[in-house]
Structure 1
Amino acid sequence: MFFAIYLTAHFIFFRNWNPKIRPEAASCLISLAHGTPAVILACRAIISDDTHGFASPNTDFQNSVLEYSIAYFLMDLCHYLIFNPSDVLFIGHHLATLFVFLTCRYVVFHGSYGILILLILAEITSFFQNIWTLASALSANSKVAAQVFDVLSPPFYAVYSIVRGLFGPIFVYKMVEFFLSGAADDVIPSWVWISWIFIVVAAISVSILWISNRWFQLYRERIAVIEKEKKIG
C-alpha cells in the first residue's frame, strides 16, 4: 500500500514538481498516510484492550497496528537508502524504530501497550510536520508556501515541544519505573526492554535537540526581520 502511494506521489501528484524535491514530497505523502491513521488505530487498539499494561500480551488488533507501522518505516527506509543515503540520522532512526516494532511484534509478543503510546506521541504531530516540511521545500519558489511555513512554524514548534519535551519523557519514566520493578521479566527479557528504553531515550533526545535548533533559528530570523525594519524606518 505504501509503495503504491509512493509511486502515485512520484508519477501523478508531484509529477510537475522539481525533481530535486519530488522524492521528499513523496516521502511526506506516505508519512501522511501513516501518521494520523496510526494514531487513530493505536488509540482504538489500546482502548479496546481491557488488560492493557506494559507487560500485557499483544492483541491481534495491536499486532495489526504494529504491522501497519512496520510497513511504513520499511518503505520510507528504502526511500532514504535510495535518495538520501547520506542522511545517517533518519536511516538510523528508522532502523531503530523497526527494531522496537519487530521485537515487540515477532519476538516477545508482549508490551505493545507502551510501544503504541509512544507511537501516538511520535505521530500526533505528523500531519503538521509533513505540511510544514512540504511548505519549507516549496518556500523558495512559492510565496504561498513561504507564508504557510511562516504561519505554521510557531504553533507546530510549540505542540512538538510539549509532546516530545514533556509528555514523552514523563511516559518513558513510567516505563523505566515499571520495567525496573521486574514485573515484566517473565515475558520481556531484560535485553529487549533495555534496548527499547535506550532507543526511545535517544530518539526523544534528538527530537528535543532538533526542535531547540528550530526555535533558535526562528528567533534569529525574527530578530533579523526586526532589525531590517528598523533600518528601513
Structure 2
Amino acid sequence: MIQIADSNHDEWDRMYAAGLPVPRIAELTGSRVGTIHRHLECRRNIDPDLAAARATAPRGPSKVWHRHLAELRDFIATHGCYPTIHGVADREAFLYGWLSDQRQAHLAQTLGWAKAREMGILGDWITTDLEREWDRRWREQFDRVVEFVAEHGRLPRHPKTTTEAEHVLGIWMATQHHKTLHQEILPWRLEALNNALPGWRKTAEVTLSEELHEQ
C-alpha cells in the first residue's frame, strides 16, 4: 500500500489520492479551488506517492451517479424520509433500488471512499428499512416501560403480573437484560435504558432469580 507523507491538509490529499477532481474537493470542503491546486502542486513535488496513489485510484463517481445522489437528497428533503420498496411517490421505486445498491456495495466494501464520503450528505443512509422498523418497535416498547414505571413506581414483572400488558413488558425487559448480559444489545439502546431506568439491570437480575427459585 502506498504511504502518503504527513500533510497540513490530509483530507484534501486523501480525496485527491482517491481520484476526486479538485473542484469536487473544493465543494465538499468549502475551500478555494486555487488554494487546493497550489497545495497539491507542492505536495506532488515533495511526495511522489501522492501522484502514484491517484494514478492507481478507482474511477470516482460519475455525473450520472452524482445526479442520482442529488435526486435522492431532494427526495429525502421533500418527503422527510428515505424511499421505500413499496413507495408510490414519483421515482421512489427507482431511488429505493439505487440506494439499496449503494448499501450493498458498502457492505461488500466495494463502494469506494469517494462515494461513501459523498453519501454522508444523506445522514444515516446505511440503516435499512427493516432496521428502522425494528428501532421504531423497540422505542415503542421502551416508551411503554417508562410510562409503566412512572405510573407504578417499579419495573414491569413476569410471571408475577396482574395484567397481560405488564406480562408483555416484563418479557421485553427480560429480553433486554439477556441481550445486555451477552453483549448483544445496541449501544444506543443500552444508554437509553440506563438513563431512563437507573438500576434496571439489578432489578432484572432479582426478578430472574426469584423466577428460577420458584421453579
TM-score (norm 1): 0.30
TM-score (norm 2): 0.32
Structure with more of its chain in helix, by fraction: 1
Relative contact order, CA 8 A, sep 6+: which one is greater? Answer: 1
